A and B are shown apart, each in its own frame.
Chain A
Amino acid sequence: MANSAQADTVPAGGPSADGGGIPLAELAARHNLSVSGARPKLPAYIRQLWQRRHFIVAFANAKTRASYATARLGQVWQILTPLMNAAIYYLVFGLMLKSDKGVDNYVAFLVTGMFIFTFTQSAVLAGTRSISDQLPLIRALHFPRACLPISFTIVQLQQLMISMVVLCAIVLGTGEPLTANWLLLLPALLLQFMFNVGLSMIVARIGAEITDMKQLMPFLLRTWLYVSGVFYSIAHFAKDAPDWVRWILEANPAAVYIELARDALVESHAHVPMHTWALAVGWAFVVGVGGFLFFWQAEEKYGRG
């Protein structure tokens, strides 16, 4: 603001006529005014975002609490929902569709896959709505909009923590031993979280620009679920397929994170090769950083219209 004080010693703007005869654009430049609604530069944007870190966490906490406050059973649903999901998938894919799946411990295999996929799926669904459902807030207050998709992914992370307790109990119940390998779950989930944040920022921008996305998303996610090897083993299912088909199926980020979690929890599951970890890191960084840049590029447009 030092500049505006300096500029004041020049003609002083003239108290009578607006702008005192100086062209308005020049007057604005002289007083260091910025064009309204322009997108902040990337470093400034990151700084603003960091400054709002408490907002991001507090918003996530409040949303988690509010989503259960309206239901009678309250927080119990947080445990009941994943349990009921697991039961249904076991009924359909474990008991009714008996087939050779090439899997030893099918219950642990299925439940792990389901919970890990649900983490990404719900992050994408929440991300799609994160801008379009928060328009009153966006129009009321100014803050970097990336707070919202990040915050909603943290809500899903909190949800996942509770699901993980249930998941571990189920896996132990199927007779899996508790080994040091389980610790690998932490880095795997961390990478998946990074991937989810980036992906939810991508769908947040798309959802904000194209309202039809909300209707299409469940359909896209179901397709993704079917190709991600949640109900079947990709290695077993695609053993006769050409190499490139198997390669694509295995490089699918959802399949990558699911495989890592199974490797950590299920002892009979074949150990994942090193390149799966490389893929997990790669997806996390490419989608995490790329999604952030993609979201930032439309920052000035959110809430318009």
Chain B
Amino acid sequence: MGITMREAYGRALASLGERDERVVVLDADVSKSTRSVVFLERFPERFFNVGIAEGNMMNIAGGLASCGKIPFVNTFSFLLTLRAGEQLRTGVAYPRLNVKVAGAYIGLSDSFDGATHQDVMDIAVTRAMPNMTVLSLSDHVMAARAVRAAAEFDGPVYLRLHRNETPDLSREEDPFTIGKAVLHRDGSDVTLIPTGIMVGKALEAADLLAKEGISAAVLEIHTIKPIDVEAIVKYADQTGALVTAEEHNILGGLGGAVAEVLGEHRPAVLERVGVADTFAESGAYDALLKKYGLTAEAIVAAARKALARRLTWRSRRRGAHEGRKRCI
């Protein structure tokens, strides 16, 4: 723990600014919240606070990028992807401009402000935009790494950043490659596929499952797009039962992306842990995670369900085979 993802993000931005003069930063009157203020303190001349005007900000970023700058655009994720979503689509993604979009306060992490400020659909929106790369980070170390990776990558990138303190999961020396899943632990019965803060919960779930004699692999997906098809297919083959876990609607997010991969490449049993297509509410963060089913226990229950379904699925398939034989 120690620092939040957003704080690490702000610092990484500032050190990036030191190395690369092309880096410019924009915010829409929430720089203290997004922590882009850390960059402002170091490089006021390369920082643009546009006021409460997200659409304007997104297109200004596009203009800057068209002139060779590397803009990092900041505000709450729902405002970047929805209020300024059309500007993001037409003004950034379509011309494939080199703009980095840093969505702060993702998921339920702005818990007390309530459903207006929470965001359970940013993955769905950005994932559906052609030309977008979508990164969902799981701790402050990875957030800092992702800032550098995004800057080195030529093209629009969406970064998903959490508001609160989260457990440490990665080390400075761990590789971070856009598009590559991270295997946290191997397993043979079921594969847990988490993203963001659900990585920590999935690791806990794997421990709980081990106590029941169930061997669970934990495969983190930080790049939602382009998704690591190879790794998912490999683990579909290895376990045949998978559980996605995300701080996002179960529709259109990581669960949707993995379902698409399985449907196309390796039909397998899939359970999705996430927000069940509902708006949440105000409350303490942990209380919300519990109420909306974003816990290690929920992952364990989903894993059990996936395993049970795999059993009936396989026996039904066997039964179908035998039935066909009898009919002939």
Our verdict on whether A and B bind, yes or no, reads: no
> Could you list which residues of chain A lie within 8 angstroms of chain B, going by C-beta atoms?
none
